[in-house]
Structure 1
Amino acid sequence: MITDLRSDTFTKPSPAMLEAMFKAEVGDDVFGEDPTVNKLEAMAADMFGMQAALFCASGTMGNQIAIKCHTQPGDEVICERLSHVYIYEGGGIAFNSSCQVSPIDGINGKITASQVQEAINPDAVYKANTSLVSIENTTNRGGGNCYEFADIESIKDTCLQNNLKLHLDGARIWNALVAKSETPKMYGEIFDSISVCLSKGLGAPVGSVLLGTTEFINRARRIRKVLGGGMRQAGYLAAAGIYALENNIATLAQDHLHARQIAAALEKKSFVHKIMPVETNILIFEVSAPYSAVSFTNVLAKFNILAMAVSPVQVRMVTHLDITDKMVDDLVKVIEQL
């Protein structure tokens, strides 16, 4: 048995999810005639109190479509230095939107309103036009940390004062909602667009949903087509997303508990340092002699435990619905032996 902690993207559909996919009613989504896709989009929009939604193949596609909708070539996008949209989407901001990035050094992946204000370019012909701020909640490379909602409201105020749009990369927004006891509608009232992932903690095999106004989503649908994202009978995939939203949000609290249990074991080891605050399901920590990040993950692999080296000294573990109590107990025992 493999305990795969490399990412929450390694989840597999449950038998019940597969049954929902098998029974899905489908049509041609490019023609707007797939009833299951339409149901998922309406369901997600209603959850966040937003006007419309668009089913996308991935979180990267959702983010990149949003950035393209909000910007013009030559504009500048403000985000945290380790944001997924900046370092893990293949240079998509430059490739798809012909924009440059103003990266901010945040704390655990989070930026502040004052930092945003300082990064906004003056209205001058020799400067790129700052048009969009993108934040990530939870923060991937920030160790699954969550924004305080009051800080998000402050960033929104800064955006309004400077005529900027605000996008949320909510790949793991479900984890933040559970950890902070927040509601989706709180976020729908703040952001101009939100991308939410179904294929991470919620366990669907494929897909994210992009949310915004009806006008925004109409533009987004055209861009999705240009990017090759028209998926025809996508209802088989959308059915998994519907099942995930109806059944798997409640499991996230257990994922968070598992991450804290692993962190508690690591804290006792002299070779483990700088464990980022564990708020949700992501655990990032540093190792030192006798280990490097790679050698530490290689040792774990001998016990059929998979983790990811994200820098020469940093290791990342991500819990998810396929990680059982027994897997966590076994991992803790291995850590105690090292």
Structure 2
Amino acid sequence: MFTEQKRRICMPPVLFCFLLGSLWETSAAQIRYSIPEEMEKGSFVGNIASDLGLEVRVLSQLGARIVSRGKKQHFALNVRNGSLVIGERIDREELCAQSTQCLLNFNVLIEDKLKIYSVEVEIIDINDNPPHFLLEELELKISETTAPGTQHLLENAYDPDVGLNSLQGYELSPNRHFSLQVHSRAKGVKYPELVLERALDREDESIHHLMLTAWDGGEPIRSGTARILVTVLDGNDNAPVFTQPIYTVNVPENVLQGTTLLTVNATDADEGINSQVRYFLVKIPGKTSQIFQLNSVTGELLTLQNLDYEEAEFHEMEVEAQDGLGLRSRAKIHVTVVDMND
């Protein structure tokens, strides 16, 4: 009897909600705007009243308001003049990282007409970030016995902008001994290599000071610089060589902190201090550098934090082997996180 009474009470609201839902009408036409990022709060985006075919004077009477899913209200509706304005500062890099297209979607609800209009706003990248290096000074140690034509990897510059506003190239300050080559990795990421053009003589010049400039293609062009300090060394004519170019490992996401995942190894054909190899992870931005640690002596890769498959399924790093007098080589580390039933 109690169950039957409960049904009588609950059925009318359910039926009412179903009928009300069937009355809502979603407009097939979608309104779309394009605006640059970083516009000031209150800046004009578009005339919603005109684009919806509504008179401004009745917009407020119809109960028009913005409905969005996110916590932040990026846009606001001015019912006095029918315009859509910026509700709060929009940072494209924060919203969409380096995605080619950045779209914000929300609805305009007209309560009295029981209509919902879909609105899409494309956020256009502006050149608000210059390329930057993680290190202000890059140190290289090169033996005077190094043959001309030898290439030396340099640190990348990073630019969170996209398209022409992102990193486009590098330039090296004029000098007698070195030139610069620029290569592209996957996804168009550009990285520089320093090329020895003329043999070095430690007795003639033991230190070389160079300037590396990274530039983008925005208007105006923005750039960032890093100093290169080249120290000329005696006699170390063999660089460390890794036993394999890529080290891979599959790791369950519930692996304990401090677990050794793999061990990299490089050998050096020199003797004495020139054959002593130490290992380093190449500096990388983001969370990956906080999750793993490499033992510089043994080459063991350890976990500093718990892994999370849902947060990142794959981690890629570069490891560098450096001998006693500074010759270096690199290999890659691929860590695949295996999903567990957590």
Query: Which bracket does the TM-score occupy, shorter chain normalised?
Result: under 0.3
Return the TM-score normalized by structure 2. 0.21
Bigger RCO (CA 8 Å, 6+ sep):
1
Q: Name the one with the larger strand percent.
A: 2
Larger radius of gyration: 2
Q: Name the one with the larger helix percent.
A: 1
Return the TM-score normalized by structure 1. 0.21
